[in-house]
Amino acid sequence: MSLAGRSLVTMDDLSNDEVEGVFSLADGMADSLGEQSSVCQGKIMASLFFEPSTRTRMSFEAAMLRLGGRVITAVDIGATSLAKGESIADMARVVGSYADIIVIRHPWEGSAKVVADYAGVPVINAGDGGHEHPTQTLLDLYTIKKERKTIKGLKVALWGDLKYGRTVHSLAYALARFGATILFRPAPGLGIPDHVVRKLTAEYGGELRRYGTADQSETGGLFSLDAIYVTPSTPHQLAMMADVSLQVELEKGVDAIYVTRLQRERRDAAKVEGDTRREYPVVDKRLLRERTFKETLVMHPLPRVDELAYELDADPRSMYFKQAARGVPVRMALISLLLGSKKADTGRDDRSRKPGTSHPAYNRGFGVRCQNRNCVSVNEEKYIKPEFKIISLKPLTLRCIYCEHETFPKYVASAEWHEGTLKSKRYHSSDSHWMKKIRPENLIIFDSESEAQSRGFLPGKYAEG
């Protein structure tokens, strides 16, 4: 299996077999960390970290040094020409001419995709805003697999800030694809975003099950009202037990609990009021005494703040420092595969089975913009054309190809009709019957009436639905 020349921007960029291939190579690297110094000799990795990092940056750099390569680094936007107004695309082109591979962390969602689109060398997303952090997921999955031998059929609880935590988004997609059951335990107001749930259910065949208040009281309010039961190819046992109660399931035990900190920096950037610290769920010795957690792996991408008690550090169930350490062999494996210095000897080349490739594209470049203020397409609109996948026609739902946030535009028109007379250049409500009449290739989408009117369209009879 070769991954030469490829980039890793989201978990969608790797098939399950390719993930297994990375793990198999990482096993070999872990067994002989000190004997890999000729693998990437002569290669240069650019390490661009425009947000704070300890683990990801240093483990990537350690990985490249152990492979015999060299590293060039920028760790502050203010010390680069981005601060002078240079675009991410221009920076990517230039850095791509200095280095053989780029690792980038940036606060804007979708920024790593732009770097991958322009750099001309493999690019690894080391965290793009609240979107994804796929290499963290690789080492998280690797840890679960090492400890439990399988991922399929496990119950994994995602805990804490599920809204802004990019590690949980990437991990949720990967768990779903590998057939795990996901339980959500969000901090108040920090639930898993709807667009992530929709992707889990629509693209990975997951079934979202909402629990009632009776279940809530039975479990002492331990878990939220939602749990995803994933049935990727054949329904696994839980999914077939339609009337099983949450309490009964929890009594069988949770295999792993994945704790995350409050992403204060993203809440502040989004100008969210209030302080959730007091209500933030904490994992400590008392919680782990519950029968549900008797044999539960305690995981955390780190850094921790107040949500994970230090008293657990000596507990054999605690995995977080092992996770961080495994970042080095996993990232060594990934770098050497993307540079074509290694091939993995397991897995089939099943890229065609990658999820998320079947939605039609919408890329007229006008009329509708991503509504996420932190999306790279909004912040670098001088050269990035808004581009979406059409997820659903009823209700009309577009997914930004950069940040994957969804938008629900209210107005549509047809390119075919307006080529007739000016009189027929009309826009309509996207939930009116006109929506069905417009052929997909003729669809023009607007997020407001003023946008439609600025393009010369007049309100149709059904502009209000």
CA pair distance 18, 24, nearest whole angstrom: 10
* Closest distance to ligand CP from the beta carbon of 58 (Å): 8
Looking at beta carbons only, is 132 or 451 nearer to ligand CP? 132
Looking at beta carbons only, is 54 or 454 nearer to ligand CP? 54
* Closest distance to ligand CP from the beta carbon of 328 (Å): 13
* Closest distance to ligand CP from the beta carbon of 303 (Å): 6
Shortest CA distance to 371 belongs to which of 407, 409, 412, 411?
A: 407
* Closest distance to ligand CP from the beta carbon of 327 (Å): 8
* Closest distance to ligand CP from the beta carbon of 26 (Å): 17
* Closest distance to ligand CP from the beta carbon of 232 (Å): 26
Enumerate the β-bridge partners of residue 318. Answer: 298
CA pair distance 56, 46, nearest whole angstrom: 13
Distances in Å between the alpha carbon of 368 and those of 260, 392, 398, 400?
34, 16, 10, 10
* Closest distance to ligand CP from the beta carbon of 392 (Å): 33
Binding site for ligand CP (CB under 6 A): 53-56, 127, 136, 301-303
First to last CA, the chain: 52
For residue 330, what is the enclosing H or E element? helix 320-338
* Closest distance to ligand CP from the beta carbon of 133 (Å): 6
Where residue 296 falls (left for φ over 0; alpha for ψ -120 to 50; beta otherwise) is beta
CB 346 within 8 A of CB 24: yes
CB 293 within 8 A of CB 254: yes
Enumerate the β-bridge partners of residue 256. Answer: 156, 297
- β-strand 396-400 against 388-393: which pairing, if any? antiparallel
Looking at beta carbons only, is 122 or 301 nearer to ligand CP? 301
Looking at beta carbons only, is 61 or 255 nearer to ligand CP? 61
The strand ranges marked E within 370-457 are 388-393, 396-400, 406-407, 411-414, 426-429, 443-446
CA pair distance 265, 108, nearest whole angstrom: 12
Q: Is 405 exposed, middle or buried (0-12, 13-18, 19+ CB in 10 A)?
A: buried
CA pair distance 188, 282, nearest whole angstrom: 13
* Closest distance to ligand CP from the beta carbon of 132 (Å): 12
Looking at beta carbons only, is 7 or 136 nearer to ligand CP? 136
Looking at beta carbons only, is 56 or 374 nearer to ligand CP? 56
Which ranges of 3-161 would DSSP assign to H, the alpha helix?
16-31, 55-66, 88-98, 111-119, 134-148
Looking at beta carbons only, is 136 or 407 nearer to ligand CP? 136
Looking at beta carbons only, is 53 or 201 nearer to ligand CP? 53
* Closest distance to ligand CP from the beta carbon of 101 (Å): 18
CA pair distance 287, 289, nearest whole angstrom: 5
* Closest distance to ligand CP from the beta carbon of 120 (Å): 26
Looking at beta carbons only, is 187 or 259 nearer to ligand CP? 259
Q: Token digits for 356?
A: 């998320």
CA pair distance 462, 386, nearest whole angstrom: 26
Looking at beta carbons only, is 170 or 430 nearer to ligand CP? 170
Looking at beta carbons only, is 55 or 428 nearer to ligand CP? 55
* Closest distance to ligand CP from the beta carbon of 333 (Å): 18
CA pair distance 217, 223, nearest whole angstrom: 10
Looking at beta carbons only, is 239 or 299 nearer to ligand CP? 299
392-397 LR contacts (CB < 8 Å, sep 24+): 393/435, 393/436, 394/431, 394/435, 395/430, 395/431, 396/430, 396/431, 396/435, 396/445
